């Protein structure tokens, strides 16, 4: 329940009438259109108290007038202001949760903090065998880097901490984040993580995202169990996550991995060799061209994995993105032998699970092939969905059988 406004000197961010409801509902984003005014004493990056109808306290947050998300909310408890201890406690709670889930392992990779899902809007922290990669997507977190680094040191004593920024998001927040090493040294020799009994080499300084797609960890195992003795095509394979699991855990007879990044393919090849997998080969080529070439050549596979990059970052482009999903899934179905397995993913947060399923329905109808949904999966458990912030669920991974 909400409390009456506290007798406090925290500057106020005052909502327009009737705008407070979703924010009492613990959604962490207060958009600019919701505000009547924000106390000028608060400069961007400062803590404010969000105030609703009749001056009632809603939550504590951090203001950034340059962002569409004018105030990011972090505490709905009037007795719990946003002190250094608050941030440290939040970080400790997230990391404890990973420990409890059995995910924290010195040799493994794990997302320790997943932004809104862990109540820390704008902060992503990934752990890779002793090294930490931070992704800061909000001014609120950029201003608090010192506290964050101190808390991470207390919790996991990392060998190094590297800061990354996502270009588009940084633009949206009006803050420049220079990617840099914040602490320690990123070793020049390769870093390895163990995942599902497979060893992966990582490129922490120039790799994609924070270096490795931890969100697919459990989907790689789930998919692998359908691949025994089968010929598998892994499209958008990056460093071979699904492909190597298919060969090593799934016992696939042959695996082909395709990605457009030369660097990723180099790593994928090294990963196959390191894990002693000789029936996997990788090619660096444009996936869209290659899919078409395979269809034109009449190639057939027993399983196809599609894990493309985000097709849309905005709501405006949803229709084009859905068309692109339709297109590649239609081609994948075309490549499948009867009884084949389609593992199809979408990491576009703006595309809903229902829309993705409808797109696959379209593929089934137009291709005249029966598509059975076997599993409807999402991201690994270190990327949980926070019910009060449905945007935290972005990854769809459907495993289908195609007749």
User: Would you please indicate which residues are annotated as catalytic (active-site) residues?
Assistant: 347
Which of the ranges 29-37, 257-265, 348-356, 361-369 carries the binding residues for ligand SAH, by CB under 6 A? 257-265
Residues in CB range of 123: below 8 A, 6 or more apart: 113, 115, 134, 135, 136, 137, 138, 141, 148
Does 288 engage in binding with ligand SAH (CB under 6 A)?
yes
Asked if residues 276 and 313 have their Cβ atoms less than 8 Å apart, the reply is no
Does 237 engage in binding with ligand SAH (CB under 6 A)?
yes
Nearer to ligand SAH, 45 or 349 (CB): 349
Measure the CA–CA gap between 350 and 379, rounded to whole angstroms.
Answer: 15
Asked if residues 150 and 134 have their Cβ atoms less than 8 Å apart, the reply is no
Nearer to ligand SAH, 209 or 300 (CB): 209
Does 213 engage in binding with ligand SAH (CB under 6 A)?
yes
334 secondary structure, DSSP code: H
Query: 30 to each of 37, 52, 53, 283, 349, how far by Cα in Å?
Result: 12, 11, 15, 45, 19
Among 135, 155, 160, 216, the residue binding ligand SAH under the rule CB under 6 A is 216
Count of residues near ligand SAH by CB under 6 A: 19
Measure the CA–CA gap between 242 and 32, rounded to whole angstroms.
Answer: 41
Nearer to ligand SAH, 53 or 166 (CB): 166
CB of 125 to ligand SAH, least distance (A): 19
Q: Which of residues 304-363 bind ligand SAH (CB under 6 A)?
A: 307-309
- Residue whose token pair is 């106390």: 39
Measure the CA–CA gap between 338 and 359, rounded to whole angstroms.
Answer: 20
Does 76 engage in binding with ligand SAH (CB under 6 A)?
no
CB of 286 to ligand SAH, least distance (A): 4
Which of the ranges 11-19, 60-68, 181-189, 280-288 carries the binding residues for ligand SAH, by CB under 6 A? 280-288
Measure the CA–CA gap between 335 and 68, rounded to whole angstroms.
Answer: 43
Does 224 engage in binding with ligand SAH (CB under 6 A)?
no
Does 196 engage in binding with ligand SAH (CB under 6 A)?
no
What are the structure tokens assigned to 368, written together?
A: 């005249």
CB of 366 to ligand SAH, least distance (A): 23
Query: 252 to each of 192, 255, 273, 345, how far by Cα in Å?
Result: 24, 7, 16, 20
Asked if residues 130 and 204 have their Cβ atoms less than 8 Å apart, the reply is no
Nearer to ligand SAH, 314 or 365 (CB): 314
Query: 270 to each of 77, 193, 208, 246, 402, how far by Cα in Å?
Result: 50, 14, 17, 16, 32
Does 60 engage in binding with ligand SAH (CB under 6 A)?
no
Among 73, 264, 272, 342, the residue binding ligand SAH under the rule CB under 6 A is 264
Q: Interface with ligand SAH by CB under 6 A: which residues?
A: 208, 213, 216, 236-239, 241-242, 259-261, 264, 286-288, 307-309
């Amino acid at each position: 329940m909400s409390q009456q406004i506290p007798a406090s000197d925290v500057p106020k961010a005052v909502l327009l009438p009737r705008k407070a409801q979703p924010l009492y509902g613990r959604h962490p984003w207060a958009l600019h259109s919701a505000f009547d005014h924000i106390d000028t004493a608060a400069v961007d990056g400062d803590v404010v108290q969000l105030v609703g109808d009749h001056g009632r306290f809603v939550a504590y947050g951090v203001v950034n007038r340059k962002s569409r998300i004018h105030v990011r909310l972090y505490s709905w408890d009037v007795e719990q202001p946003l002190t250094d201890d608050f941030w440290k406690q939040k970080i400790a709670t997230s990391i404890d949760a990973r420990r409890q889930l059995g995910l924290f392992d010195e040799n493994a990779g794990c997302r320790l903090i997943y932004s809104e899902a862990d109540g820390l809007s704008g902060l992503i922290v990934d752990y890779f065998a002793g090294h930490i990669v931070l992704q800061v997507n909000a001014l609120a977190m950029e201003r608090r880097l010192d506290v964050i680094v101190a808390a991470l040191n207390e919790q996991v004593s990392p060998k190094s901490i590297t800061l990354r920024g996502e270009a588009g998001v940084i633009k949206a927040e009006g803050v420049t984040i220079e990617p840099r090493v914040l602490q320690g040294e990123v070793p020049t020799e390769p870093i390895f993580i163990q995942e599902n009994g497979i060893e992966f080499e990582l490129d922490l300084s120039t790799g994609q995202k924070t270096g490795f797609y931890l969100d697919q960890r459990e989907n790689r195992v789930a998919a692998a169990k359908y691949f025994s003795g089968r010929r598998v095509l892994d499209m958008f394979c990056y460093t071979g996550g699904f492909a190597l699991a298919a060969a090593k855990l799934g016992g696939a007879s042959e695996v082909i991995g395709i990605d457009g990044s030369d660097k990723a393919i180099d790593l994928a090849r090294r990963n196959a060799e390191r894990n002693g997998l000789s029936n996997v080969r990788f090619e660096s080529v444009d996936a869209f061209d290659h899919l078409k070439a395979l269809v034109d050549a009449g190639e057939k596979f027993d399983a196809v994995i599609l894990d493309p990059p985000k097709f849309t970052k905005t709501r405006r482009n949803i229709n084009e993105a859905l068309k692109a999903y339709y297109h590649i899934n239609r081609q994948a179905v075309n490549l499948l032998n009867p009884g084949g397995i389609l593992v199809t993913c979408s990491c576009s947060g703006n595309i809903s699970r229902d829309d993705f399923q409808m797109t696959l329905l379209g593929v089934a109808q137009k291709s005249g092939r029966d598509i059975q949904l076997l599993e409807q999966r999402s991201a690994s458990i270190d990327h949980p969905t926070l019910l009060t912030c449905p945007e935290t669920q972005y990854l769809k991974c459907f495993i289908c059988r195609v007749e």
